[in-house]
Structure formats: structure tokens, C-alpha cells
């Protein structure tokens, strides 16, 4: 038995140690053999801190929303097949967006758990508004990073089964995994590396986060936000991020997005989560830093990941918008499956 465990451990270690070839990237630290944000990896924790958070999580207060979930706007297949000039929040960081005939899906997560295990790990508290087979034809899937609530193997496999020719775009280091899962067209890009896809320009941007999917692969693949620019509209997908100066830099380099998808949940205990997840007040700062015209909230109400009440992020978002004298029509926490057309209205192009 011990010999078997040893063999598994050695093969896992050697498997992870090989095939890293990202030395050309300015965001790859060759001495660490890992990707690195200029501000380092403040999310890395000592074992004692990890035990403290597990203790904190086990002592968390009863959360009614984690039991009941949130209301869902269930979509019929015929409504989805004509989905156009709109954005829909499906749950967690999964966004469906269509503009000028191009349909984009971000971080598809349709599973019952955000976990490598089917019997354990964060369980979905709010059902998906429809199934993957009911999605409209997707042109492009964007992936922010490899955490389980953002990159879900069975969702990707199901998507490929129904729509085999989808184009995937991922941050550096993730293409081999997607190809292993059956994706045919995968492009991996570094931060600020621009690519033209049909009539749009696409660019991953730095965000303050990290990646890890197994014991030994911390920061072996990159994490990113994404800017997509049409000639008359732009969409920024922040993925998963702590608050940082990256958003000011993104706006300076790439302009102000028409619509920004910004995370608002999974932020307590604050000291522990701050480096990786912004809170609603920081989400409003991010919205301002980006100079976005509209904002849509991500990363709340879907999986219980942290200790704050699951219904708290949208309440605090509303309060923060009020404090900043920003209309609540500009930055919305949509319900699961809710569509929003206003960012695509003709007025945007005047």
C-alpha cells in the first residue's frame, strides 16, 4: 500500500515538473517555474492560516440563502436560440453575451459542485437556468483561470459534445488541459497579447489572483481578465480578482469598456480573502477605475465558498452604489438566468 502511494506521489510530482515551457512570457518566473503577478502571490497561506480558515468556516453562522438558493429566471430553448444584443448571468462567473452576431460564453460552470469530487466540495445552491444542450450556438468561450468554480471539466466536455467546433481562448498554460478534455480549437494567450477574432479584438489582462487545481500545480497556468472590443461596444470580463491597480492600467491601455462583468462575492473572512477576491465596495471602485458605462455582478449566490451571508453581496453593492451616487441601473446584480438589454441599446452609439 505504502509503495503504491509512493509511486502515485512520485508520478504526480514528475508529471507536474515537466512540460513547462513559458520562459518567453514576462509573467513567467523561471526560477520559481511558475507564473507570477508583479505584486507576487499574496494569496499563498501558511498551513496554520489554512487551519484557521477551516476552523472559521466550520464555525460560520447559519445561512438561510445557502439552504434556499436564489430565484431563477428559467429560460426556454426557443428564447435562447434567438438570444441577441443582450447579456445574461447564468450563475457564478458564467456570462452569456451576444453582440453583432457574435455569441460569447465565459467560465462555463453548470455542475452541481465546484470540486474535483462528485461527492464533496462546494455544492450548487441555485440551479442553472437551463442545460448546456439548450445554449444557443456559441462562437467563443473565454476562461479566466483553472479554479473549479470557473473551469469545470464536465461542463466543458458537455459543451464540446453539443458544439464540437467552439473556439476556446484561455490564459497561458491551460490549452493542454482543454485539449485533453476534447476541445479542438484552443488558443492560449499571455496578458496584453491581442488577437483578432472575426470582427473583434480580444486581449487577456492582468488581475490579482492565482491558479491551482491539484496539490502541486499552484500558478503553473496563468489567470486573466479579458477585454473584447467591437467597433461600437466593448465588454470586459474581470474573471476572479482581488482589488488592484490592474483595472486602472487596463482602462488606460485598452479604453473604458461599455459593459464590465465584475465579481462581488466570496470575500470573508476579509484578511484571508482580500488578496484574491474583492468585496462589493471594491467592485464599485473597480467599476470606477475601469470607467465602465455598465456593470454586471459575478461570483455570488451560486456556491457557498466563504463565510459571508450569501445574500449580502448584492445588498452591499446597492449600498455602495448609493454612497458613490451611481445609479443602481448602471451596475446590476442580475438574478440567475436574468437577461439585460440596456447596455446594448442604440443610445450607446450616439
Using CB under 5 A as the binding rule, whether residue 37 contacts Zn ion is answered as no
Least distance from Zn ion to the Cβ atom of residue 125, Å: 18
Query: Which three three-digit cell numbers place residue 62?
Result: 447559519
Q: 223 vs 235, which CB is nearer to Zn ion?
A: 223
Q: Dihedral of the CA atoms 125, 127, 128, 133 (nearest 10)?
A: 130
Q: 34 vs 99, which CB is nearer to Zn ion?
A: 34
Q: 83 vs 243, which CB is nearer to Zn ion?
A: 243
Provide the angle, in degrees to the nearest 10, between the axes of the packed helices 246-254 and 280-290.
20
Least distance from Zn ion to the Cβ atom of residue 87, Å: 21
Least distance from Zn ion to the Cβ atom of residue 212, Å: 9
Query: Which three three-digit cell numbers place residue 27?
Result: 509573467
Using CB under 5 A as the binding rule, whether residue 240 contacts Zn ion is answered as yes
Least distance from Zn ion to the Cβ atom of residue 273, Å: 11
Least distance from Zn ion to the Cβ atom of residue 211, Å: 8
Query: What residue number has its CB nearest to Zn ion?
Result: 147
The size of the interface with Zn ion (CB under 5 A), counted in residues, is 2
Query: Which three three-digit cell numbers place residue 179?
Result: 485539449
Q: How many CB atoms lie within 10 A of CB 243?
A: 20
Least distance from Zn ion to the Cβ atom of residue 281, Å: 20
Using CB under 5 A as the binding rule, whether residue 299 contacts Zn ion is answered as no
Beta carbons of 150 and 144 less than 8 angstroms apart: yes
Least distance from Zn ion to the Cβ atom of residue 243, Å: 14
> Which part of the chain contacts Zn ion (CB under 5 A), choosing from 89-97, 157-165, 235-243, 293-301?
235-243
Q: 147 vs 293, which CB is nearer to Zn ion?
A: 147
> Which part of the chain contacts Zn ion (CB under 5 A), choosing from 157-165, 175-183, 237-245, 314-322?
237-245
> Which part of the chain contacts Zn ion (CB under 5 A), choosing from 33-41, 233-241, 249-257, 264-272?
233-241
DSSP structure class, residue 112: S
* Strand-pair partners of 94: 91
> Which part of the chain contacts Zn ion (CB under 5 A), choosing from 92-100, 239-247, 279-287, 323-331?
239-247
Query: Which three three-digit cell numbers place residue 204?
Result: 487577456
> Which part of the chain contacts Zn ion (CB under 5 A), choosing from 6-14, 118-126, 240-248, 308-316?
240-248
Least distance from Zn ion to the Cβ atom of residue 109, Å: 11
Q: Dihedral of the CA atoms 148, 151, 157, 158 (nearest 10)?
A: 90
Using CB under 5 A as the binding rule, whether residue 289 contacts Zn ion is answered as no
Using CB under 5 A as the binding rule, whether residue 147 contacts Zn ion is answered as yes
Task: Give the C-alpha separation, 227 to 224, whole Å.
Answer: 10
Q: How many CB atoms lie within 10 A of CB 37?
A: 22
Task: Give the C-alpha separation, 333 to 310, whole Å.
Answer: 13
Q: 139 vs 240, which CB is nearer to Zn ion?
A: 240
Collect contacts of 229-234 with beta carbons under 8 A, ≥24 apart: 229/200, 229/201, 229/202, 229/203, 229/254, 229/255, 230/99, 230/100, 230/102, 230/199, 230/200, 231/199, 232/348, 232/349, 233/99, 233/100, 233/258, 233/259, 233/344, 233/348, 233/349, 234/258, 234/259
Least distance from Zn ion to the Cβ atom of residue 240, Å: 4
Binding-residue pattern over the window 152 to 171 for Zn ion, x denoting contact by CB under 5 A: --------------------
> Which part of the chain contacts Zn ion (CB under 5 A), choosing from 14-22, 55-63, 130-138, 238-246?
238-246
SS3 sequence of 151-176: CCHHHHHHHHHHCCCCEEEEECCCHH
> Which part of the chain contacts Zn ion (CB under 5 A), choosing from 72-80, 105-113, 145-153, 325-333?
145-153
The footprint of Zn ion (CB under 5 A) covers 147, 240
Amino acid at each position: 500500500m505504502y509503495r503504491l502511494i509512493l509511486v502515485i506521489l512520485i508520478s504526480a510530482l514528475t508529471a507536474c515538473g515537466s512540460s513547462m515551457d513559458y520562459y518567453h512570457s514576462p509573467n513567467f518566473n523561471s526560477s520559481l517555474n511558475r507564473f507570477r503577478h508583479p505584486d507576487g502571490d499574496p494569496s499563498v497561506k501558511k498551513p496554520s492560516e489554512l487551519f484557521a480558515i477551516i476552523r472559521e468556516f466550520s464555525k460560520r453562522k447559519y445561512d438561510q440563502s445557502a439552504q434556499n438558493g436564489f430565484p431563477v429566471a428559467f429560460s426556454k430553448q426557443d428564447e435562447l436560440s434567438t438570444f441577441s444584443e443582450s447579456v445574461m448571468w447564468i450563475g457564478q462567473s458564467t456570462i452569456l453575451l451576444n453582440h453583432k452576431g457574435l455569441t460569447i460564453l465565459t467560465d462555463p460552470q453548470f455542475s452541481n459542485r465546484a470540486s474535483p469530487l462528485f461527492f464533496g466540495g462546494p455544492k450548487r445552491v441555485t440551479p442553472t437556468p437551463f442545460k448546456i444542450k439548450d445554449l444557443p450556438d456559441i462562437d467563443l468561450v473565454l476562461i479566466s483561470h483553472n479554479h473549479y468554480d470557473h473551469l469545470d471539466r464536465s461542463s466543458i466536455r458537455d459543451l464540446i459534445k453539443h458544439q464540437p467546433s467552439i473556439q476556446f481562448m484561455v490564459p497561458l498554460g491551460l490549452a493542454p488541459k482543454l485539449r485533453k478534455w476534447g476541445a479542438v480549437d484552443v488558443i492560449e494567450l499571455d496578458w496584453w497579447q491581442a488577437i483578432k477574432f472575426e470582427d473583434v479584438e480580444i486581449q487577456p489582462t492582468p488581475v490579482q489572483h492565482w491558479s491551482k487545481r491539484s496539490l502541486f500545480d499552484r500558478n503553473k497556468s496563468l489567470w486573466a481578465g479579458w477585454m473584447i472590443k467591437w467597433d461600437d461596444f466593448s465588454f470586459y470580463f474581470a474573471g476572479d480578482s482581488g482589488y488592484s491597480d490592474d483595472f486602472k492600467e487596463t482602462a488606460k491601455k485598452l479604453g473604458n469598456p461599455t459593459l464590465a462583468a465584475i465579481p462581488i462575492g466570496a470575500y470573508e473572512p476579509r484578511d484571508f480573502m482580500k488578496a484574491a477576491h474583492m468585496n462589493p465596495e471594491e467592485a464599485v471602485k473597480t467599476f470606477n477605475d475601469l470607467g465602465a458605462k455598465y456593470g454586471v455582478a459575478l461570483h455570488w449566490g451560486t456556491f457557498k465558498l466563504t463565510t459571508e451571508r450569501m445574500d449580502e453581496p448584492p445588498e452591499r453593492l446597492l449600498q455602495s452604489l448609493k454612497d458613490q451616487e451611481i445609479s443602481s441601473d448602471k451596475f446590476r446584480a442580475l438574478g440567475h438566468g436574468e437577461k439585460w438589454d440596456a447596455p446594448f441599446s442604440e443610445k450607446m452609439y450616439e
